[in-house]
Structure 1
Amino acid sequence: MSRFKQTVALKDVKCFALHGYYPEEQLTGNHFIIDLTTEFTPTGFDDELAQTVNYEDLNSIIKVEMKNTQKLLETVLNNIVIKVMERYPFVEKIDVSMKKLNPPMPGQIGHSFVKLSYSAAD
């Protein structure tokens, strides 16, 4: 059994999208920041991309799901997790979070925040 754990992640991926529960949010859109972290036991270190998670794929998954308008941010995050699991079934843990910048509500709010975690061991 390997004693190594490998993490591949993207941090602060900035997107503009039309997610939001209220119809106005789906018309005007908002700015979002996504963090996506994967963890797994590496099978080796022979300098081959097939033995790791390609963060270009992670970026592509994020971009595609951010274009797919949803009412709830939780739905977007769940879709991202599912796509990562489908592409990389060896991944043991996934954490994905999203900040919605300046959510449309009274007061000065920097961002709302939603996080979803997946663990194959649970």
Structure 2
Amino acid sequence: MIIALHGVEFFAYHGFYPEEQKLGCYFTVDIEVDFIPVGDISEDNLDNTVNYEKLYEIACEEMKIARKLIETVAQNIMDGIVKQYSFVNTIKLTIHKLNPPLGLKTKSSSVTLTYRK
């Protein structure tokens, strides 16, 4: 089973350069979590699955902490998911930095991390 969030939008202060951490930037986050439910999914019990609201909360908390590298942010989000849901088999997480300051028009830069149990 896969639970996913796509295109979750954040305004955050991640970036290597001091002006990035001062001015901030828009980011989007995609999270896909593959797992085997811990109980019978037909019981209609949220405890038997991955709660996508909790995935959002984990990402939100990490996005609030300014970092130089979005790789670090992605790793911390992934670690938080694994800590919350030890039964996940794989996680694919991508953070897109919209309009990165490259001096030319660029839609986004991104980093993708994958976790496998």
1:85 matched to 2:82? The reply is yes
Q: CA RMSD in A?
A: 0.7
CA deviations on 1:66-94 (whole Å, 9 max, x unpaired) are 00111000000000000000000000101
Amino acid at match of 2:6: K
CA deviations on 1:27-63 (whole Å, 9 max, x unpaired) are 0000000001100112322111010000110010111
Give the unaligned 5+ runs of structure 2: none
Please state how far the C-alpha of 1:107 moved relative to its aligned partner: 1.3
Q: TM-score, normalised by structure 2?
A: 0.96
Identity of aligned residues (%): 43
User: Structure 1: which 4+ aligned runs deviate by more than 6 Å?
Assistant: none
Give the unaligned 5+ runs of structure 1: 1-5
Matches within 5 A, 1:93-104: 93-104=90-101
Secondary structure of 2:88's partner? Answer: coil
